[in-house]
Amino acid sequence: MSKSNRKPQTLAASYGPNAELLAEVSDDLAVFRLNRPAKLNALSYALVDALLQALGDAETSDTVRAVILTGSGGRAFSAGADIAEFSGSVERGRAHAVRDFVRRGQSLTARIEGFPKPVIAAVGGLAYGGGCEITEAAHLAVAGRSAVFSKSEILLGMPPTFGGTQRLPRTIGRKRGLEWLLTGDVYSAAQAHEAGLVNAVVEDDGVLDAARALAGRITRHHGDAVAAVLSSVSRGLNVAIDEGLQIERQEFAALVGSACLDEGLARWLHRRSGNDTDDRDG
């Protein structure tokens, strides 16, 4: 596991020229709130850039151990791309559309998927298009009962471009993924849970609390061990199993001799001797 050489950052209260992203840190959790409620938190270029900047700060923060992504306004996690802005890029030609829209969106979802700290999507309301793709890229997801999901890009005459053609079938299976991608149908939170896109469905007013509780079950463990698991899974899923096993070996080897593993083993042995009632495994 490589460590960033960047100076540790303090998270801002908001990001973007018009506070497109709100940030708050409580204990060891950063909550990033997509903040374009009048536009159903549509992913403008400024919002995507703001989220990338905030993730960079969260990665190097000494305080933040997990990130929760959610939406403002209650009606939407995110309805997807800002279509008016995207249309302008398309009108300027292929190179502009790919650079402004596709590469920016793919950079965001790749950043989320490869993030060394847990990223949990707390989904309330609509999660369409790019909003669904953020959910796919997040390591874990919790949804409110009235949340709805759609791969709506087909309705615009295009495939998903933030990684949805790759991550969704890997997450919910090829045939089910193709059904979502090719129909543009709307799916309930219960259907998303049954498919494996979200980990849990809770009451609408309990989504953020459920995401916080899930994060707490993870952040009680050593951050280096958590990062090793995230790296092994995120990198390993995209390669052949032999290469994935090599990644797993590398992540383990990097922890040998570290405080993370030494302290974990010492706690375990101490507990086994009957001197400790802590039920954690690391």
As annotated, the active-site residues are 133, 153
State the residue for tokens 């997450």. Answer: 171
d(CA 86, CA 88): 5
Contact 105, 18 (CB under 8 A): no
Residue 276 CA to its chain's centroid (Å): 35
Contact 122, 142 (CB under 8 A): yes
Please list, in sequence order, all residues whose beta carbon lies within 8 angstroms of the beta carbon of residue 11, skipping any fewer than 6 positions away. Answer: 23, 25, 30, 54, 57, 58, 61, 64
Please list, in sequence order, all residues whose beta carbon lies within 8 angstroms of the beta carbon of residue 36, skipping any fewer than 6 positions away. Answer: 20, 42, 44, 47, 72
In 27-151, beta strands by DSSP E: 29-34, 66-71, 76-78, 119-123, 126-128, 140-144, 148-150
Q: Which two tokens stand for residue 222?
A: 């050593």
Contact 48, 9 (CB under 8 A): no
> In angstroms, how far is the first alpha carbon of the chain from the final one?
18
State the residue for tokens 């032999």. Answer: 242
In this structure, the strands spanning 29-34 and 21-26 are: antiparallel
